[in-house]
Structure formats: C-alpha cells, structure tokens
Amino acid sequence: MMKRPTVILIGGFLGAGKTTLLLHVAKHLAGQGKKVGLITNDQASDMVDTRLIRQHEIPVREVAGSCFCCNFNALVGATDSLRDEAAAEIILAESVGSCTDLSATIMQPMKEKLHQQYALSPVSVVVDPLRLTEIYPELSFTGLSPEARVSTLHESAGYIVRKQMEEADFLLLNKMDLLSRKELEEVTALLAKEYPQAIVLGISAVTGDGVESWLEQLFAMPKAGTHIAAVDYDIYAEGEAILGWLNAAVSLRQKSGQGKWREFCQKLMAELDGAFTGAHADTGHVKIIIANGKNSIISNLTRTAAAPGLHGDIPAAVPDVEMLINARVEMTPERLEGIVRTALSDTCALLDIEATVTALKSLSPGRPEPTWRYATVWDAS
C-alpha cells in the first residue's frame, strides 16, 4: 500500500516570507530524494509565486479566486493532483497572506474527512519580526529604517496577524538574520509569552538557518491543528477588505537600443513605493517577475518605505519580456490600479519601452465564507 503523502500547511501575513521558505524547503527535501509538490493560493490568477516555483521545476498547483478555507474542494483537488500526477510524497500548501482560521476551516475537516489519504503536519505560521513592531510597539529593531518605523497597519489587519499566531502549532520567526541576538531573544520571549500554545522557532528563509530544526520537530510531532482561535468574522472581513488586490500580466518590448530590464524593474518598484509612501498606505506586498525563457528578474517589497529585494538578470540583447505584478496595498482597488498603471506608463516612457497589459484584475476580497468551520478540534481517537 502506498504511503500517505504528508501535507504541510503554511500560514502567515503578507510579506512574511512564506514562498521563500517553501522554495528552500522544497529544494532541501528534494535533495534528500523526496518528491515534493507545492500549492499556491490567491484571490486572483497570474501569481508571481506560481511562475517562480515553475521556474525551479517544482510541481505546483494553484488555487485561485478564493482562499483555501472558502474553496476547500479545490484545495483537496490540488493535493490529489500532486499525489496522483506528480507522485508527491510531501505537499507544501501556502495559504493567502490575509487568511486566518486555518485550523478550524482546513485542518479539522482534513483530519476528519481525509485522514486515510493524507498525513497532516502541524500548522506552521511564518512571522515577520518587523511587522510585529506594528502590533507590539515596545519592540524596536535596528534593521528598520526611520521611515519604516512608522506603523501604518490597519487595526483590523493587525487582528488577522494576531489570529494567525493564535492558531499556530509552530510560530516561525522569519528573517532572524536581520536581528541582533538581543533582538531575537526579545521577540522570541514575547511570542512565547503571548502565544504559549505554539513552539516558537527562529529561522531565516534566505539563509536556511533554523529550517532543518523546524522540519525535524514538525515531522516528529504526532498531532496537527491542535488549536482553534476564536475569530470575529466581521473584524476578519474588514481586515481583508481594506486591502486593494491587483494581479496584472504585461508584455514589454524595448523600442530602441538594448533592454535595461533590471533598471526597469528597479525604477518601476521605486515609482510604486513612492506612491504608496505618499499615500501613507501600508504595503502587504508587491511582487514583480520579469521573464524571458529561463532568464528572470524578481523584485519584492514587503513594507512601505522599505528597500525592495531584487534578484536575477536578463541579457540586454533580449528585446521582449513578460511581466507579472502582484500588489496588496491598503487602499481601494481602483486607486491601486490607477497607481500601477501610472507607474508603469512613467517607467516605460523613461526607458523607451512599450507595454501591453494582457490581463489585469483589481479587487477587494469579499467576506470569508468557509466551506467548513469546526468549533472544536477533531480527534480521531
């Protein structure tokens, strides 16, 4: 009889580093001879994360149009597909960053209905220590620029972050490489006190520090989804609705000279961040991927007024590329779309690039309506 695949569910707020962590984990497990598959989740299609994972030649399925909890059957269909078509032994599922209540709406129904098909690992929630300063102002990290020290996170969005941590079996304090030892000890102690139900571990998705220790403890823990948070769905819905959500696909062509694709990406991200900073709008995340074949440039911004990441390059001789933009920002979708279109137009004009928007969707997430919601922890024994 075939061994049941293991499902590892990862939560955490926008910009916490979930995708970077899952890519690291997938490569690590594949290096051990394991067959790994990933599931991405978003309110719309054209996901940067899905494109990025495919570039690493990792089997991936996408649940788009709603969060996992509101489309439980699509999540199960994605896990079944990875099991049957990719022979995945370990399935990593990354929930939407604005989603919470995973234990009640995903883990408990999976434990009851699918325990014969899948082994379930504890719920792990990835936490950005810099985001915590907006919830716990007593924390102070030297890694924050003066501009990024100003809290812009809406109170209801902060509520979602708290609820994500309340339901966690593991709290993964990511980006520990940005903290001093004293700062790491301070925030670890605070989380252990505030969320005693969870095992708190420091990790770095970028360097890999602490990741193997987490996996060892994760696979050794016999029970999953051991906590259910009390969630006020009115506040939860407000926390999601204050975010404008935009996914866009754009074809880019250099009209004269050589393609300055890395410079284009830098300038576009700077234009966007400047507009969000000027609007005093909190940035959940902005992700851009520009690609041509196997060549790509990836940029991400996880806080307003913070330095965006930039990785990769495309040869200047390449005249045509495809770009995906995913933006989650605290403003109306109409205003967000206007800012993105203006920033794109201005950047293209500056570098003599022609842009054709082939797909664009901007929205504000609707009220969460879970397929299932369990009031208590389901226990097979």
pLDDT exceeds 90 at position 80: yes
pTM over 0.85: yes
Going from N- to C-terminal start, the domains of the chain cover: 6-238, 244-363
Strand-pairing partners, residue 329, are: 244, 283
Closest to 158 (Cα-Cα) out of 231, 68, 236, 104: 236
Is 147 exposed, middle or buried (CB count within 10 Å of its CB: 0-12, 13-18, 19+)? Answer: exposed
pLDDT tens, residue by residue, 254-302: 988 777 999 999 999 999 999 999 999 999 999 999 999 889 999 999 8
Confidence of residue 143 (pLDDT cuts 50, 70, 90): low
Task: Identify the CATH number of the domain defined by range 244-363.
Answer: 3.30.70.360
pLDDT score at 369: 96
pLDDT score at 7: 97
Fold topology of 6-238? Rossmann fold (3.40.50)
pLDDT tens, residue by residue, 29-74: 999 999 999 999 988 777 888 888 988 899 999 998 889 999 999 9
Contact 285, 360 (CB under 8 A): no
pLDDT score at 1: 45
pLDDT score at 145: 52
Q: Specify the DSSP element, H or E, that contains 74.
A: helix 72-85
pLDDT exceeds 70 at position 150: no
Name the average pLDDT for the chain.
92
